[in-house]
A and B are shown apart, each in its own frame.
Chain A
Amino acid sequence: MISNWPVAGIAADMLQRTLQTGRLAHAYLFLGPEGAGMLETAVYFAKGILCEQKEGKSPCGECIHCRRVDSGNHPDLVFLEPAGQSIKIQQIRDIQKSFSLKAMESSYKVYVLTRADLLTPEASNALLKFLEEPATPVVAILLANRKASLLPTVISRCQIMPFHRVSAGSVQEALQNEGLSAENARLLSHVKESIDSARKFSEHEKFAEILNLVVQLSEEVKSSRGNPLFLIQDKISKPGWANDEVESFLDCLAWWYRDLLNMTLQLQDRIVYHNQISRVQSQAASYRSDRLVHMVEIVLSAKKRLQSHANQQLVLEQMVLQLQGESS
């Protein structure tokens, strides 16, 4: 019955039931991480509201309304995108004005705020009254990543639909179906947030190199004889890696130390570097668990500094020195 929804889950269940019972609220807030299929669900839900065929309860996909939604030119479905950096008060005023008129073709009008977290404070406040008591039958769908970026007064006027990150297990499965090895798929599904970014990373030319470098660097850091600074210089600074490549590298490195931690705590089933399990085991033997916690945090803070445009080489070198300090 609900198989047609873009993403199955509690939100799809609830929206389906809403369509069936006709208990349509006037404002919905879709909350969830990127890549959880919120926009697709919003479009499908809008289709369900606008669809002519009221008996089937879910969009038929054949009537004129459904087809026009699909082709993106239904007059009663409006997408409000940020104009530049944010959604501005004028956009809200415009939509209030156009929505004060009756729907053209169907009984409802639907508007979708694709990035509700980008509303300016003025725009959110201007939205409040309209959100709570619209003059005409209107359904608002707001999409946002997290609650904190919205006004509490906005949130309290909406029904919240939680969207969940696609679980690591199913991402792994999907990647495996695309021909990746089980080990790599497992690693990618954990290190990257969504299936899209995982896929992109797996196709990246430096993917294999990054994984090798993680192992190499951690070995050098552990055995105090090698020179990890030289490795960084040789493999990253000289070829001139882009910042996002270095960030991916740091992500992988952080997960590597997390694996070591899980190994010291005998949580083997949580380890993501499956193909390196013997290395993980031998490295884990030389660290205490609180050290490893600190090392993960060192790597993460290096990534944070990198994101705030610190000098790449300095950040990496400082990180390596700190890691070595932890391991001695």
Chain B
Amino acid sequence: MSYIALYREWRPQSFAEMVGQEHVTRTLQNALRNQRLAHAYLFSGPRGTGKTSAAKILSKTINCENGPTNEPCNECAACRGITQGSIMDVVEIDAASNRGVDEIRDLREQVKYAPTEVRYKVYIVDEVHMLTTEAFNALLKTLEEPPRHVVFILATTEPHKLPATIISRCQRFDFRRISGRQIVERLQHIANEKQIEAEEDALWLIARSAEGGMRDALSIFDQVISFGGHKVSVDSIVSLIGGLRADTLASLARSIAEHDVQQVLHATGNLIEDGKDAGQILHDLTLYFRDLLMYKTVPSLEEIQDRIQYDKSFPQVADLFSPSQLIAMIEQMTETAQEMKWHNQVRLLLEMLLVRLANTQAADVQALWKRLEELERKVETGVNRHHRQSEPTGVPQSNREDAQENRVGMKNNKEEQPTPSDAIPASGSRQQEPVSASVSASASAGMGSETASPGRSLGKLLNNPNLDLFEKITSGWSQILDQVKRRKITAQAWLLDGEAVAVDSGNVIVAFKNQIHRDTVMKAIHKSVIDEVLSEFLEQPAGLVAILQTEWKQYKQQGAAELASTVDNDLVDEVISIFGREIVDIED
């Protein structure tokens, strides 16, 4: 036939013509120059990187009549014969079709005989990973110690499928993916030779979709030439590959960054109406975002530099996103790509994904971070404050001044809220609001109010501690927990941390170690359940009052320590009166 595919026509015929595999060709040529030819080679690497070509060049070089040399002459009878495949001593075996142990036994039989036309018998075993286990094992002995006149060259795309015993008997050469730049240069060279006008952007596009395979690149190039005549343009390649133009991708990414859901859906709708495949759109978009991420994290990467070469708006688009956003988006995309394998409603999946991408981003991650940091800071300072409260004695002078201020603040508070009983009413769900209000007030206001309010409200609450009820509560605490658990398990979980410390006229005071526990049980959803249980248990209306243990300690230090040791009611009354006096003392 008159016409053969470009990638066969332009198969490299010498080491110098091989592109992107300098580490292989240099090593091989040095070995040849020093007459250090091994008896078995393993060439591995992705498709279209030159493994079979290198094997053929090597077999020509060692058999060249003008040799020994490190480059085939391609003119002598031996070289030409090998190129045409007419020399019987250079055997190219398709291991994928002849994969059984019988074929390998045949090969072993023939290995014994000396070459007839050239110096070496060369066996090129292509796609060697497809040999069966038995066939590999049958090959082992021959591969290790072949006759002097035999060279084996194994070539494969999947070296991990070879047994270790095969690999250890070969000199291994790993072929690399060919970089975009090298593919473009090679295509440019061929275009010049064939007098074809090629836009450089178009060649970059080819190189990109070839993904490191020279044969893929040449296939596409070939196709474009046969389609578009002697001109290669971006448009013809885009329509051929079925991919998206870089500027389309850029505008789509922009719309996503601007949360413009309408525009995103509108644009994708148009693409699909134009006959683009939803799967292809997603694939291209994922690659584009992956490149954006690479640009943000490792801008010096060669392929990213290449991308900037043909996509000028790329850096501007990249500035619209943060790396964490990009990672999250790429994850969503790959998830959807996975889903697409199982669904035929790919268009729906794609549209939903894009809406989600544009929307979720609307909750700006940066803003969320800022809020989180603020919260953390608040929590931290809050904790510090409690530490200070728990050690009121022996504190440095400045802290004592703080304490002084506390008292002042307390006074102010008292003036502001003339009816302190309002702060924690006896029972009922309405109770929640004032408490949370006082909590937030204490969080936002300075040092004063926090220490003031528990002391004050506790004092008010504990006018008349009821020890009978208190004993009933402490002895039945586990029953109460059980009851709460039965009604609302989360409420019980929060309550678990607390310890009942006192009961006074329907107020069950429970101390917690953590602020978060205290605040959460006081939420209406939990508190209403707990109140109910307490009321049933005590057979009288009762409500939960949560405080911090530090507050409780402080309160006790203020003179209520006797409360715990009190045995009978008379004494309690006495203590209450003492306690009341104490408060007056403090305020004064």
Contact = CB atoms under 8 A, between A and B. Distances in A.
B469 interface: no
B11 to A, nearest CB: 10
Interface string B218-240: 01101101110000000000011
B343 A265 contact: no
A220 B46 CA distance: 56
Contact of B240 (A21, A162, A261): A162
Contact of A129 (B1, B127, B261): B127
A239 interface: no
Contacts of A55: none
A324 B316 CA distance: 43
A125 B241 contact: no
B47 interface: yes
A130 B97 contact: yes
Contacts of B226: 14, 17-18, 21, 23, 25
Given A129-B94, A130-B97, A159-B223, A303 B343 contact: yes
Interface in B97-131: 97, 99, 126-127, 129-130
A28 B273 CA distance: 26
B249 interface: no
A92 to B, nearest CB: 7
Contacts of B274: 167
A155 B127 CA distance: 15
A315 interface: no
A289 B269 contact: no
B220 to A, nearest CB: 8
A196 interface: no
A159 B215 CA distance: 11
Given A14-B227, A168-B273, A251-B345, A293 B265 contact: no
B277 interface: yes
Contacts of A279: none
B499 interface: no
B349 A22 contact: no
Nearest to B242: A162
Contacts of B3: 22-24
Contacts of B275: 9, 164-165, 167
Nearest to A158: B219
Contact of B239 (A10, A23, A158): A10
Nearest to A153: B47
A297 B240 contact: no
A92 B97 contact: yes
Interface string A267-284: 100100000000000000
Given A153-B157, A156-B47, A258 B239 contact: no
A173 interface: no
Nearest to B224: A14
A313 to B, nearest CB: 22
Interface in B176-216: 213, 215-216
B540 interface: no
Given A33-B277, A156-B216, A254-B345, A10 B240 contact: yes
A79 B47 CA distance: 27
A148 B129 CA distance: 20
A93 B48 contact: no
B34 interface: no
Interface stretch (B18-26, B352-360, B381-389): B352-360
A157 interface: yes
Contacts of A128: 94, 96, 126-127
Contacts of A307: 342
Interface residues of B, number: 59
B525 interface: no
Interface string A1-32: 00000000110011001100111111000010
A98 B94 CA distance: 17
Nearest to A250: B345
A304 B130 contact: no
A327 interface: no
Nearest to B347: A190
Nearest to A27: B5
A313 B541 CA distance: 48
B351 A266 contact: no
Contacts of B2: 22
Interface in B331-375: 339, 341-345, 347-349, 351-352, 355-356, 359
B266 interface: yes
Interface in A77-98: 89, 92-93, 96
Contacts of B513: none
Contacts of A153: 47, 157
Interface in B524-563: none
A159 B219 contact: yes
B348 A254 contact: yes
A258 B351 contact: yes
B279 interface: yes
B359 A290 contact: yes
B358 to A, nearest CB: 10
Interface string A155-191: 1111110101101110000000000000000000010
B348 A157 contact: no
Contacts of B222: 23, 25, 159
Nearest to A270: B269
B8 interface: yes
Contacts of A293: 352, 355-356, 359
A267 B5 CA distance: 48
Contacts of B344: 193
A156 B342 contact: no
Contacts of B352: 258, 293, 296-297, 300
A105 interface: no
Nearest to A304: B342
A214 interface: no
Contacts of A96: 97
Contacts of A155: 216
A58 to B, nearest CB: 16
Question: Among the interface residues B97, B126, B277, which one has the most CB atoms of the partner chain A within 10 A?
Answer: B97
B262 interface: yes
Given A17-B227, A293-B359, A122 B130 contact: yes
A137 B1 contact: yes
B100 to A, nearest CB: 11
Nearest to A132: B8
Given A137-B1, A300-B345, A304-B342, A160 B223 contact: yes
Contact of B96 (A31, A129, A165): A129
Given A146-B279, A251-B345, A152 B47 contact: yes
Contact of A169 (B213, B273, B343): B273
Interface in B67-93: 92
A143 B71 CA distance: 41
Given A92-B97, A125-B129, A130-B97, 16 more contacts: A10-B239, A13-B227, A17-B226, A26-B4, A125-B96, A156-B213, A159-B219, A160-B241, A169-B273, A193-B344, A262-B265, A267-B269, A270-B269, A293-B356, A300-B348, A304-B343
23 contacts: A9-B275, A14-B227, A22-B2, A23-B226, A96-B97, A125-B129, A126-B94, A126-B130, A129-B97, A146-B279, A153-B47, A153-B157, A156-B216, A164-B275, A165-B275, A167-B274, A267-B266, A270-B266, A289-B261, A290-B355, A296-B348, A300-B339, A300-B352
Interface of A: 9-10, 13-14, 17-18, 21-26, 31, 33, 89, 92-93, 96, 107, 122, 125-130, 132-133, 137, 146, 148, 152-153, 155-160, 162, 164-165, 167-169, 190, 193, 251, 254-255, 258, 261-262, 265-267, 270, 289-290, 293, 296-297, 300, 303-304, 307
Closest CB pairs A-B (n = 3): A125-B96, A164-B275, A129-B94
